[in-house]
Structure 1
């Protein structure tokens, strides 16, 4: 018979091992869920400082109110209350380039800048690199992931707090350093000041923790799962899904087809 080696969960008749530990005696009640999620992804146990930064990221991304992911979760539950998994999945499927996906996009963007460069020395060096990056992106007509927020125009409150936690734990690495420099220099190029948003700083922090870039969106989705469970719990207590549905359904307005005949003319 073929063998399928794994360092993750494995079961025998009378025990379960996880990451080389006995699940019942060494993990349950001994390892927090955030710490375990980090450990599962990296197959190394994080330090207390890494756990603190990682869990701060999860908290930052868990819930932002009535975002599209929350609304679609509530509406899917309204339509199919027998399928909690469907409601959660519907919300998670909305994690893309505008919501949640910025975490991965920012981490990847910063990493691509840094991968072929030696980290600069001091803020002046980081500012010089950031100025080069922002200028190049502006010339190419591209937006910088993590720069700007549709609500927090004057600053995302999550951003300075996550920088503070990373500094306290000695975990400000090259990704956070470059992101901070982009925040300092971009007004010189763009002619306006935009906030560094929370999703972006989360991506920079996760990249500095050495987590796989390919999984950064997965960690955002892990965080949002907790938030969506909270949305469903509140929907059970104080339902608004039907009101959202009716506000559209009862206020639709019939119009003739477009003279252009649709998006393709």
Structure 2
């Protein structure tokens, strides 16, 4: 009976050689391929151009760390509770990458992609600013009527503009990867005040999703790239926790200031 085969174009080993993506790992990859370039290559199984690598690595840098967010705090607190489990602390932080933090990258990329798909616009479509603005107006009005929020629009800290956003637009333009997702997202930023009656910033996580989508990366993996970036940031959080610990103070600030109150039955229970 023949043994089953499990084909893969990724890593494979023999007693004297390791191959990765069809390359000799030791000779062709190590010391020659940056980690960002390799991450892109692994996800797409094609080697990115220099311009694609620059945009992709700019996205990774934009998402690596954003201060004492819940992902950072829970990583530090988990390490405080289980210093023998670095992997647990990192995993705890990554598990917090959801719809409010980090997940916006995926949500925005998917949202823009679905708009383009539903209107049957090819991914190499080229329109002038007026054309994109007209499309964006219809999108914002549609979402407003449906009482839905547009992913990537607004930020809880950067009320007057996220500094990452214009820089990512700039880098994408410089490298020739300012495609339809970024074009639509920028148009939403221009026209939404006419519908919403107020101006909200395009946040960095959202523009990261648009940039990744314009690079042709799988929609299903966009959050994965955000988590890849945040892993580096969480390692930095742990390194700082070792040098200048704050997790115990965070824990005690809650533990020593709790207020005992009468129990309040859950409203969904039936008596």
TM-score interval, normalised by the smaller of the two chains: over 0.9
Counterpart selection for 1:211 from 212, 217, 226:
217
User: Counterpart of 1:68?
Assistant: 70
User: Counterpart of 1:231?
Assistant: 237
d(CA) in 1 for partners of 2:81 and 2:62?
29
d(CA) in 1 for partners of 2:220 and 2:263?
43
Q: CA deviation at 1:209?
A: 0.1
Counterpart selection for 1:198 from 197, 200, 204:
204
d(CA) in 2 for partners of 1:29 and 1:61?
25
- List 4+ stretches of structure 1 deviating above 3 A: none
Q: CA deviation at 1:117?
A: 2.7
Q: CA deviation at 1:120?
A: 5.5
Q: Deviations over 1:181-228 (max 9, x none)?
A: 000000000000000000000000000000000000000000000000
CA contact (8 A) 1:120 1:126 kept: no
Q: CA deviation at 1:121?
A: 1.8
Counterpart selection for 1:112 from 93, 111, 114:
114
User: Counterpart of 2:57?
Assistant: 55
User: Counterpart of 1:264?
Assistant: 268
Q: CA deviation at 1:257?
A: 1.3
User: Counterpart of 1:154?
Assistant: 160
Q: How does 1:29-48 map to 2 (within 5 A)?
A: 29-48=31-50
d(CA) in 1 for partners of 2:267 and 2:194?
39
d(CA) in 2 for partners of 1:192 and 1:186?
8
CA contact (8 A) 1:176 1:201 kept: yes
Q: Secondary structure at the match of 2:19?
A: strand
d(CA) in 2 for partners of 1:85 and 1:264?
37
Bigger shift: residues 216-225 or 111-120: 111-120
Are residue 90 (structure 1) and residue 92 (structure 2) matched?
A: yes
Q: Secondary structure at the match of 2:252?
A: helix
Q: Which 5+ residue runs of structure 2 have no aligned equivalent?
A: none
User: Counterpart of 2:184?
Assistant: 178
Q: CA deviation at 1:263?
A: 3.8
Q: CA deviation at 1:137?
A: 0.1
d(CA) in 2 for partners of 1:135 and 1:120?
23
TM-score computed with the length of structure 1 as normaliser:
0.98
Are residue 124 (structure 1) and residue 130 (structure 2) matched?
A: yes
Q: Deviations over 1:134-162 (max 9, x none)?
A: 00000000000000000000000000000
User: Counterpart of 2:15?
Assistant: 13
Q: How does 1:133-152 map to 2 (within 5 A)?
A: 133-152=139-158
TM-score computed with the length of structure 2 as normaliser:
0.96
